[in-house]
Every structure is written in C-alpha cells, then in structure tokens.
Structure 1
C-alpha cells in the first residue's frame, strides 16, 4: 500500500454535501450531526459485514463477502472477550469486492496477552482519541508493540496503572462509557458528526452512507470520544462545563418575579439556550472548514480511493468515490490534560 499521490484539501471540501443537524449536548460533550444524501455515492460494504481476525501478532485479516468495496475505518480496533491479543489499525484501508486483505502493519493494544482472533463477524471499536495521533504517526513503523508506550501514557493519564493494555481502561470505565452511548443518538439521514468537548473541536467524522454511519456510531461515541471525555475530564467535577449555556429568565416587577406564565417563560428560555448551543457548535465547525489537510492517496479499488489526511491540528484518513468525498475521520492531535 504505497502512497501514490499527494494533495492539499480544505476540510470543507471533505464535508461537501453535508449539512448540520440539531446539536445534541450532554454535559461537557456536544455532537453536531452531519446530514447528507448518499444516493449518488458508490456503495461501500458496511464494516460490520466484514469478517475480521488475526493471523499473527501485528497482522489483521479482512474478508469482504460483498460485491462492493470494503472500507476499513481509520483506527479500527478489535477488542474481544476471548483470550487473544487485541489489535488496532494505524490508518484506513480498502478490501477488494468479494476479496481479502491481509494487513501486516497492525498494532497490538493488549500488552502481555497472547492468542489469535479467529476470522469472523466482530464487534467493532475505535481507538480512543488520545491514541489516534500516535497510531497515525506509527503508520510506517515496524513492530506490533509500537503503540504500547502510547497506551501506557494514556492509562497513566487516566489515573490507572501504566501498562500497555487498553482493556484496563475500557473495563475500569465500562459504566461511564455505556452512558455516552445512551445519551446520544443517530438521527435520520445522518452520515457523520462534529464532536466538541468543552466547546473545543475533538473530531470530524463523515461516512459513505447512513448505514455505514449507523455501524460506526457506537464504536466512535463509546470508545473514541467517550473515552476522551472521561480521560480529560474537568479537575472539578462540580464545575459546569463551558459548553453549557445558561438559561436567561426575564424578570418583572420589584420583587424580581418572572414575567408572564412561568411555563411559557421557561420554554422560551430553553429555546433561546438551544439556539445559542446550535450557533456555537456550527461556528466551531465553520472556523475549521477552511483549514487545510495534506492528503496522501494509498489504495484504489472499484472507483474508491482511500488515504491519509494530516493537518496542523487534525489527523486521520479520508476516502473519495465517484469524484466526491465519501469518508473522513479527523481527530485532534492532542486534547485536554
């Protein structure tokens, strides 16, 4: 998978055809849905349809049973319940229609655990945001253990033992991670999302279709962004997150009582707060659409091209098909404490 070309693209170009939906805000985390019409986009195999396993440490295998090209998401992680070494991808990749991919530059993320994963349908995960820049940076490096130092730092920064075992974090914060999935939801025609933490851009995700997005929604919210919200949490849990918009209630009379019917007043204040949250989220996205990322094309199958994308503050992968962007996964290089 050698790089075959380089380009520079504004982030706005990678999101062409997407429009923002209604922002969802829970605590310190906001999700701005991206809506789109995927009717003209090439059909891509949904990642949950791929049969995935390991044939050796650092080697992930992908079997694509569909007659359409398979798009392996950037920084996909395989976290299994059985006694086997969990693995992750350093970048995105393509699997030929009705074909196979043996990816021998994968990374182990469960230090000291032995065993291989039989090829088959798998529950999917995505590396936590705090590990994704390190994973991209190691894309051309050798050694299945090369991400262990970053996992050690990630666990230590979360108040856990300094070990290269990502499962330690996932098990310790299992309940908190589950709450992120319950508190946010997919909406009709959603093909992506902009994720903010404390008003700061954490990531931009765009999928080829609503079905593809639906398959990746939980892995992204639970493992990638939910994990970062926990790891970089406010040092003062009682402090209101900066993204929370205060309600402004009108007052009347000398006693400061609210004017008009109290329910109507509260409803109007909530509408105003929601509108302000929406404005802030859309502004955070607008401020980044002109930011340029360098793209490096790596694979092309069945009219779909996938490659890396690297900017000053964001890093990840992208894909184009039928001369239009169909996929982008860009996360902050660094975030929080």
Structure 2
C-alpha cells in the first residue's frame, strides 16, 4: 500500500492510484455478454472486513431529501456509494450521493440524499427495501454535486439519462426502470457471481466503466444484483436504446477451425474457443491494469469504529472508498464522461 493511504486525517486529500484501492485482489475469468464484460476480482489473500449487509438496514424517509438508516446488528454497516432505494409503495424514491457508515446498533440520518422521481410524492415507510445503485452517468453527476441538502439537485441528470434512452416524461428514474425491466432482468441471469469474488472491473465497448471492491464476499453478494441490474445493466440498455453502436474491437473474434480429411473438427473448435477466451482474458486484464494505474485523489469524509469512509476523484473515475484501519477494503468507482 502506498504511503499516501497511511494515517489519513479528516480533512486530508492525498494522491493515490486505483491499484492502491484494489491491493491484494486478483482477476478471475472474464464474463462477456453483448457489449458488456465483467472481470471478477477475487479475494485471494486480499484484506477483507466485516462491514455488514446493506440489505439488512432499516431505511425510511420523513421528508424529501433525508434518508434514515437503522442498523440493528452488532457491527457497523457501510451504506454503499450511490445507493438507490426503489420501493413499490407510493413514495418518492431516494439515492445517496456518497458512501456512509452506520454504527453498530445505531441510527443515521443523511440529509443530503437526492430524490430521483420528480413527480412522485409520498414518504418511504421504515423497513428493509430492495436496493439499487444509480447508473454510472448519474453516479458521476451525484459525486460532482456538493453533499449538502437539495432534494431536487439530481433531476437534471436524470432527465438527460432518460432523454438519451428515448424515454419521455419527467425526471423519474423509475420510468426508465419500468420501460426496460425485461432487459435489465436479463443481466442478472447472464452474469454470474463466482466463488471468492469481492469485486469486479466492468468494461463496456472496450472501456472500463466501473471498478468495484467490496469489504467481504457477503457484502459483494448483497451488491451484485443492484450493481449488475440497476447500475451497469442500465448503462448497457441506455446505449442500446440510444442507438450507440457497439465497439467492434471490444470482443475477441472466434477464428473458425479449418478441418479436413481425418480431422477432429470438434477438437479444433474447442481449441479455437480456448484461444479466443485466452485472448479476451488478456485484453480485459490489460485494459483493467491501465485503469488501475490511473492517479486519483482520496479524502476522508467520516471516521468511526476504526473505519474511514471517503471520496475518490480522478480525471477518468470518481466514487468512494473505505479503509479498515489503514487498509483499503471498499472501492466503488465509475467512469466519467459516459453521457
């Protein structure tokens, strides 16, 4: 770990790289569907931490722009960066602009949350709710906004996102989610959460669009659907709806085998598939490594129970991270300039 990630202070802003935040993880086998690829990040010997299960938090609102969290467990729970609370009840859905920490057995009110439905009224009743994570372009917009009260400040970005996907109407993210519900569900079925996985590098059209590292495998499993369906799946669906051509160089083509008399065509085909998979793996890892070397600035927003939570700002990526002691155990970064 670089010296820049040691002995943080609350007001510090230090230089680091994405690789610093991913210390110890190792890549798994890349998964590819259409224009999207997921390179799993496996724990191996990487440091981990028990930062709870965000799906177990009690969540509610009592006014627009404030999310209330209640943690009834014996340990702290990390609220993931850009968490979105999407409920079936008639209520204004909300999202977080940052990551946050809820202490063991405690409650937390976050007054800088953002509404994501311009015309929907109502308050979220206390309980456990289905979690989502904002699509990448909305995450960039949320991170660039100051973390201060203003329930409607994300609406312009929501409108741009919907307009790009050819979804008319008000700045209501749920209208997009309902329009493309079937397509979004497919992403959960087509990508697999693997053993020992604690994160992923997500690529789309030959570019890294997200870097995720969870504090534990349990935490990652809780985030898997919110990230694959609502965050990165939504970006892939938006690109299709917007008519953005897929990058033909993003996938390694399969070279058809040439058979002949006495040739085992199936064996040749299997060898061609293995070769294509190996080349695609190498390409994904090279692209991910280039992103991991990118410099970022990290700063601490809050500290409690030996956990520090802060923001990450770079020219190419933006998001949040967490330290357990002096060790990075969480990172959630999305690419800039996607919309």
| CA apart distance, 1:134 | 0.5
| CA apart distance, 1:279 | 0.4
State the partner residue of 2:305. Answer: 302
Residue by residue, what CA displacement relative to the aligned partner does 1:101-120 show, whole Å, maximum 9, x if unpaired?
10000000011111111111
Report runs of 4+ in structure 1 exceeding 4 Å deviation.
Answer: 37-40, 234-241
Give secondary structure in 2 for the equivalent of 1:91: coil
State the partner residue of 2:65. Answer: 58
State the partner residue of 2:285. Answer: 282
State the partner residue of 1:85. Answer: 92
| 1:170 aligns to 2:173 (yes or no) | no
| 1:16 aligns to 2:23 (yes or no) | yes
Is 2:47–2:327's contact at 8 Å kept on the other side of the alignment?
no
From the superposition, tell whether residues 219 and 258 of structure 1 become closer, same or farther in structure 2 (CA, over 3 Å): farther
| CA apart distance, 1:320 | 0.6
State the partner residue of 2:5. Answer: none
CA distance in 2, matches of 1:137, 1:163: 22
| CA apart distance, 1:239 | 6.8
| CA apart distance, 1:235 | 6.8
State the partner residue of 2:238. Answer: 231
From the superposition, tell whether residues 248 and 169 of structure 1 become closer, same or farther in structure 2 (CA, over 3 Å): same
TM-score normalised over the length of structure 1: 0.93
Q: Which ranges in structure 1 are unaligned for 5 or more consecutive residues?
A: none
| 1:315 aligns to 2:318 (yes or no) | yes
State the partner residue of 2:250. Answer: 243
State the partner residue of 1:221. Answer: 228
State the partner residue of 2:42. Answer: 35
State the partner residue of 1:6. Answer: 13
Is 1:317–1:329's contact at 8 Å kept on the other side of the alignment?
yes
CA distance in 2, matches of 1:293, 1:197: 21
From the superposition, tell whether residues 265 and 230 of structure 1 become closer, same or farther in structure 2 (CA, over 3 Å): same
Q: Give the number of equivalent residue pairs.
A: 331
Higher mean C-alpha deviation, range 91-100 or range 233-242: 233-242
CA distance in 1, matches of 2:80, 2:52: 11
Residue by residue, what CA displacement relative to the aligned partner does 1:270-304 show, whole Å, maximum 9, x if unpaired?
00010011001100111112211111101111111
| CA apart distance, 1:53 | 1.1
Write out aligned runs for 1:135-284 (5 A).
135-233=142-240, 241-251=248-258, 257=260, 260-284=263-287
Give secondary structure in 2 for the equivalent of 1:8: strand
Residue by residue, what CA displacement relative to the aligned partner does 1:200-220 show, whole Å, maximum 9, x if unpaired?
101000000000000000000
CA distance in 1, matches of 2:153, 2:126: 23
Q: 2:110 aligns with which of 98, 103, 109?
A: 103
From the superposition, tell whether residues 272 and 119 of structure 1 become closer, same or farther in structure 2 (CA, over 3 Å): same
Is 2:165–2:241's contact at 8 Å kept on the other side of the alignment?
no
From the superposition, tell whether residues 25 and 299 of structure 1 become closer, same or farther in structure 2 (CA, over 3 Å): same
From the superposition, tell whether residues 52 and 272 of structure 1 become closer, same or farther in structure 2 (CA, over 3 Å): same
From the superposition, tell whether residues 247 and 44 of structure 1 become closer, same or farther in structure 2 (CA, over 3 Å): same
CA distance in 1, matches of 2:261, 2:302: 62
State the partner residue of 2:3. Answer: none
| CA apart distance, 1:242 | 3.2
Is 1:204–1:329's contact at 8 Å kept on the other side of the alignment?
yes
Q: Give the aligned CA root-mean-square deviation in angstroms.
A: 2.0
CA distance in 2, matches of 1:54, 1:12: 37
| CA apart distance, 1:68 | 1.1
Give secondary structure in 2 for the equivalent of 1:319: strand
Residue by residue, what CA displacement relative to the aligned partner does 1:243-272 show, whole Å, maximum 9, x if unpaired?
2221123436xxxx5982110010000000
Is 1:42–1:322's contact at 8 Å kept on the other side of the alignment?
no
Q: Which ranges in structure 2 are unaligned for 5 or more consecutive residues?
A: 1-8
Residue by residue, what CA displacement relative to the aligned partner does 1:20-69 show, whole Å, maximum 9, x if unpaired?
00000111100000000478533211101111111210000010111211
CA distance in 2, matches of 1:58, 1:299: 20
